[in-house]
């Protein structure tokens, strides 16, 4: 058993969840926090009894106690603290994406590989029971050779507005790069061993163009074994859409069978005269009206009950702590998976922009 000295950089919603879980995990012997907003870092430090907090990630990462790092900043601020953590030789848990442009993402991958860093990315759906069950059936060949896959994600527009309001650097904050990456990662994990060779995509921007992003992106990938895969996302549904964040459907057709995954959360519906809260908020954004209907369990990370956080993010986080303590193999997405996912989502955006099929070379970095 190895003890963990944990640094959490970014003390917003996700950083808070992972830090509070860390304080309850027996293997975490030291906990340090960093956020550019002193009051946010101080509040979380008090709530989870952290050993140290600061507004300077360099100060935190230079502490001798640190052995592992969680990067939970906003999307455009991952690169510098990640590279510093690699320089210090620390194990890494990075919220997706590695970076918001392919050059920075490749730089991070090169540094991770050259320094032999154990680095994983936050793709929480991999730790949900339904997807683990599907993964096992596919691994053991229960539907034969997979040849056709359809993926559809629906989201209300709270997430894109909240995400974009955090920054003026919006060029790559698209539905695929920011949110479609989750359903793309799940589909690629379920199709493990298949590699994309081309993509043709289209986008529309009738609602979210005022925020500088697209409403929807639909694409068709062809894989190296001839498999075809339809990958679609719309994150422009109205704020009153009952799904708190993510509704996902995946259909997988093989030579011997089919798996049909309905993950839209419509099996648990609450309707009340009492407003149910925002469903999704950030420091820059709160929806303009209350929501009176909710698809319960539709927040992908999980839910609070009895003052504790339960759900797949608990499984994902505690399993990572176990990985660090014991060396146990886990289902986490690797940094290499995250880099691939970024390039695939950006290839969809490029195809939609240019209005043509994009042929994907073996090293997809070469198209950007």
Domains of the chain from N-terminus onward: 4-117 (3.40.50.720), 126-302+343-348 (3.30.360.10)
The pLDDT tens digits of the residues spanning 125-179 come to 999 999 999 999 999 999 999 999 999 999 988 888 888 777 655 567 899 988 9
pLDDT attached to residue 341: 96
Element (H, E) at 131: helix 129-139
For residues 291-305, average pLDDT: 90
pLDDT attached to residue 173: 80
Residue 84 has pLDDT above 90, yes or no: yes
Residue 41 has pLDDT above 60, yes or no: yes
Q: What is the DSSP letter of 230?
A: E
pLDDT attached to residue 133: 98
CA 149 – CA 228 distance, rounded (Å) = 6
Q: How confident is the model at residue 112 (pLDDT cuts 50, 70, 90)?
A: very high
Residue 351 has pLDDT above 80, yes or no: yes
Tell me the whole-structure pTM to 2 decimals: 0.93
Q: What is the DSSP letter of 182?
A: H
pLDDT attached to residue 168: 57
Q: How confident is the model at residue 286 (pLDDT cuts 50, 70, 90)?
A: confident
CA 326 – CA 26 distance, rounded (Å) = 13
pLDDT attached to residue 167: 64
Contacts of 201 (CB under 8 A, 6+ apart): 217, 218, 219, 220, 348, 349, 351, 352
Residue 224 has pLDDT above 70, yes or no: yes
Residue 276 has pLDDT above 90, yes or no: no
pLDDT attached to residue 362: 83
Q: Residue 207 — φ and ψ, nearest 5°?
A: -110, -50
Residue 264 has pLDDT above 60, yes or no: yes
Percentage of the chain beyond pLDDT 70 is: 96
Q: How many CA atoms lie within 13 Å of 288's alpha carbon, on the beta-carbon side?
A: 4
Please give the structure tokens belonging to residue 242.
């009952």
- Whether residue 219 contacts residue 153, with contact meaning beta carbons closer than 8 Å, is answered with no
Spatial strand order in the sheet of 91-95: 52-54, 28-34, 4-9, 68-71, 91-95, 119-122, 333-334
Residue 185 has pLDDT above 80, yes or no: yes
pLDDT attached to residue 107: 96
CA 161 – CA 75 distance, rounded (Å) = 14
pLDDT attached to residue 291: 83
For residues 282-290, average pLDDT: 71
CA 29 – CA 26 distance, rounded (Å) = 7
Locus of tokens 């944990």: 6
Could you tell me which of 271, 276, 179 has the C-alpha nearest to residue 232? Answer: 179
For residues 99-124, average pLDDT: 96
CA 252 – CA 262 distance, rounded (Å) = 12
Quote the mean pLDDT of the chain: 93
């Amino acid at each position: 058993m190895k003890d963990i000295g944990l640094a959490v950089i970014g003390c917003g919603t996700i950083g808070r969840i992972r830090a509070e879980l860390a304080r309850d995990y027996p293997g975490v012997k030291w906990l340090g926090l960093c956020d550019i907003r002193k009051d946010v870092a101080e509040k979380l430090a008090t709530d989870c009894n952290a050993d140290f907090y600061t507004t300077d990630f360099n100060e935190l990462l230079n502490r001798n106690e640190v052995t592992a790092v969680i990067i939970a900043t906003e999307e455009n601020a991952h690169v510098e603290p990640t590279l510093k953590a690699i320089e210090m030789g620390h194990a890494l848990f990075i919220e997706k994406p590695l970076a918001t442009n392919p050059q920075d993402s490749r730089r991070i991958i090169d540094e991770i590989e050259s320094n032999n860093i154990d680095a994983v990315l936050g793709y929480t759906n991999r730790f949900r029971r339904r997807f683990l069950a599907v993964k096992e059936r596919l691994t053991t060949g229960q539907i034969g050779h997979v040849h056709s896959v359809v993926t559809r994600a629906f989201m209300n527009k709270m997430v894109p507005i909240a995400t974009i309001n955090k920054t003026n650097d919006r060029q790559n904050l698209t539905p695929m790069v920011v949110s479609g990456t989750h359903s793309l990662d799940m589909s690629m994990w379920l199709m493990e061993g298949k590699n994309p060779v081309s993509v043709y995509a289209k986008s529309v921007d009738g609602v979210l163009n005022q925020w500088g992003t697209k409403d929807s992106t639909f694409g068709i990938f062809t894989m190296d074994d001839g498999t075809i895969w339809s990958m679609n996302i719309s994150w422009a549904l109205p704020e009153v859409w009952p799904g708190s964040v993510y509704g996902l459907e995946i259909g997988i057709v093989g030579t011997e069978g089919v798996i049909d995954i309905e993950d839209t959360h419509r099996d648990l519906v609450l309707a009340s005269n009492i407003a149910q809260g925002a469903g999704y908020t950030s420091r820059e954004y709160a929806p303009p009206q209350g929501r009176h209907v909710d698809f319960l369990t539709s927040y992908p990370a999980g839910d609070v009950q009895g003052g504790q956080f339960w759900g797949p993010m608990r499984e994902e986080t505690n399993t990572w702590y176990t990985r660090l303590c014991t060396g146990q193999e886990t289902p986490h997405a690797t940094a290499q998976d995250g880099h691939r996912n970024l390039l695939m989502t950006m290839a969809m955006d490029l195809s939609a922009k240019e209005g043509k099929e994009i042929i994907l070379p073996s090293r997809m970095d070469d198209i950007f």
